[in-house]
Amino acid sequence: MTTLTKNKITESFLEAAHLTKAENLVALQQKGIDFLKNEGLPAQKAEEYKFTHLSKKLEANISNFGAASKASLNAEQVKAELIADLDAHLLVFNNGQLDLELSSFSEDNYTLKSFADLSAEEAQKIGTIAKVEKDPFAALNTTSFEQGTYIHIAKGKVVEKPFQVLYFNQANGGQVISPRIYIDAEANTEATFIEKIISLDEAAYFLNSVTEVKVSDNSHLHYYKIQNESTSAIEVNNFVTDIHRDATFSAFTLSLQGDMIRNNLSLNLLDSGCEGNMYGLYLLDGNSHVDNHTNVDHTMPHADSNELYKGILGDKSRGVFNGKIFVRQDAQKTNAFQQNNNILLSDDAIINTKPQLEIWADDVKCSHGCTTGQLDDEALFYLQARGIGKEEARGLLLYAFAGEILDHIKIEAFKEYCISLVQERLGNL
């Protein structure tokens, strides 16, 4: 490949890009390559990546742009990461590839297969929700992923147990990890996914994932994600869902640590009666940088979206929140709610928060707001004046702030797990 590309880093990625063996995905991959050649990865001034300079970060920390080979990983390590008391279908990903030996699931009410085994019809679906041209990192994933995983839930099926999805990551030879998931939930289905992203060591890797989810008519999906990685993890998640008539989709993202994490979460509300919920909590210390870019697209009348993100930032950490709500002309009677609240605990912590509303319909209810402040001194004094120690009082107040997000977790065992993670973090912030 000698074609001139926009920037050097894009070229490095393209040179190393893995060429998929599955024939029915070659055309899609080519689309990714063409897009990247024309557009390149975001430059410093790119509006969408203005506060999160990923190209620069990657240039400084990634030297081997090839795919990370399978890491050494055993059942003990997997066991250590399992969420206590959670009865689940366990999917273990080793550097982005599903590890069938370490996974443990029974395909009741759903089927799971590798992209290599997709029918022509199924393969057609890949890349139709997370479109290459929407985001350069989605395009990059499209050029780089090896084997994707396709989960299919047939019409009317309810997957009772949640999926517990563990992503183990480690630079190994190459530093680039490109998981690719497609969830195809047909009409009247239900499923819950709980995802945990784990670093196997402290070396820098670049995790660039794409998850596409189709939530068909009257289906209900919950997707939970925990990001608690090493301080050198660089990560972009492209998560896109198409939500159809009367369907609901809820996303929950808890971010605790990483060098630079960017979450692109897009909800396409494609029909009436559907609902999209986005909850996020980021509790950061050190130099962690977490950027949540969300996008909800109301296209038809009578759909609702709710979004609540909260952050507590200590040390030199940085948070970015950008919430886009797009209400198209046909989307009358839309209810869209968005809120982002932040507490800064140190003078060096930074938050950039920006709601972006674009409303073309005239009969809608949209509200948005953001706040950034310090811990409330008056509240702190009030608690102390009742005999509660300062540290304890601080913990109570911070937990009260964060707890509102945790209340949206529907799975008890997972909620307990998140509470313990949050309390531990707040104790050290």
The nearer residue to another protein, 162 or 280, going by C-beta atoms, is: 280
Q: According to the binding rule CB under 8 A, does residue 373 interact with another protein?
A: no
The nearer residue to another protein, 183 or 406, going by C-beta atoms, is: 406
Distance CA 41, CA 135 (A): 9
* 209 close to 140: Cβ distance less than 8 angstroms: no
Query: Minimal distance in Å, beta carbon 385 to another protein?
Result: 5
**Listed ranges 41-49, 111-119, 312-320, 379-387: which one lies at the site for another protein (CB under 8 A):** 379-387
* 312 close to 402: Cβ distance less than 8 angstroms: yes
Options 63, 382, 412, 427; binder of another protein; rule CB under 8 A: 382
Q: According to the binding rule CB under 8 A, does residue 369 interact with another protein?
A: no
**E-strand stretches of 314-420:** 318-327, 335-344, 350-359, 365-373
Options 86, 187, 383, 419; binder of another protein; rule CB under 8 A: 383
53's CB contacts (< 8 A; 6+ apart) are 44
Query: Minimal distance in Å, beta carbon 317 to another protein?
Result: 22
Q: According to the binding rule CB under 8 A, does residue 86 interact with another protein?
A: no
Options 397, 418, 422, 429; binder of another protein; rule CB under 8 A: 397
Q: Please work out the total of residues on this chain that contact another protein, with binding judged by CB under 8 A.
A: 23
Tokens matching residue 368: 């948005």
User: Rounded to 5 degrees, what are φ and ψ at 297?
Assistant: -115, 105
Residue type, 306: N
Query: Minimal distance in Å, beta carbon 395 to another protein?
Result: 10
Tokens matching residue 89: 């279908």
The nearer residue to another protein, 1 or 385, going by C-beta atoms, is: 385
Q: According to the binding rule CB under 8 A, does residue 396 interact with another protein?
A: yes
Residue type, 57: K
* 323 close to 309: Cβ distance less than 8 angstroms: yes
Query: Minimal distance in Å, beta carbon 334 to another protein?
Result: 28
Options 121, 347, 363, 378; binder of another protein; rule CB under 8 A: 378
Q: According to the binding rule CB under 8 A, does residue 387 interact with another protein?
A: yes
Query: Minimal distance in Å, beta carbon 422 to another protein?
Result: 13
The nearer residue to another protein, 218 or 339, going by C-beta atoms, is: 339
Q: Which residues of 160-174 are buried (b: 16+ CB within 10 A; e: fewer)?
A: ebbbbbbbbbbbbeb
The nearer residue to another protein, 87 or 377, going by C-beta atoms, is: 377
Query: Minimal distance in Å, beta carbon 393 to another protein?
Result: 8
Distances (CA, A) of 172 to 95, 116, 121, 177, 229: 9, 23, 34, 10, 16
Residues numbered 403 to 422 that lie near another protein (CB under 8 A) are 403-404
Beta bridge partners of 242: 214, 268
379's CB contacts (< 8 A; 6+ apart) are 397
Tokens matching residue 386: 């009742």
Tokens matching residue 414: 């997972």
What are the DSSP calls for 8-55, one per residue?
Answer: HHHHHHHHHPPPPS-GGGHHHHHHHHHHHHHH-SPPTT-GGGTT--HH
Options 379, 411, 413, 421; binder of another protein; rule CB under 8 A: 379
Q: According to the binding rule CB under 8 A, does residue 393 interact with another protein?
A: yes
The alpha carbon of 31 is separated from its chain's Cα centroid by a whole number of angstroms, namely: 23
Q: According to the binding rule CB under 8 A, does residue 360 interact with another protein?
A: no
Q: According to the binding rule CB under 8 A, does residue 386 interact with another protein?
A: yes
Options 367, 400, 410, 427; binder of another protein; rule CB under 8 A: 400
Query: Minimal distance in Å, beta carbon 387 to another protein?
Result: 4
Q: Choose among 356, 135, 110: nearest CA to 239.
A: 135
Q: Check residue 23 and report its DSSP letter.
A: G
Query: Minimal distance in Å, beta carbon 397 to another protein?
Result: 7
Q: According to the binding rule CB under 8 A, does residue 401 interact with another protein?
A: yes
Query: Minimal distance in Å, beta carbon 311 to another protein?
Result: 15
378 sits in which H/E element: helix 377-384
The residues that touch another protein, with contacts defined as CB under 8 A, are: 376-379, 381-390, 392-393, 396-397, 399-401, 403-404
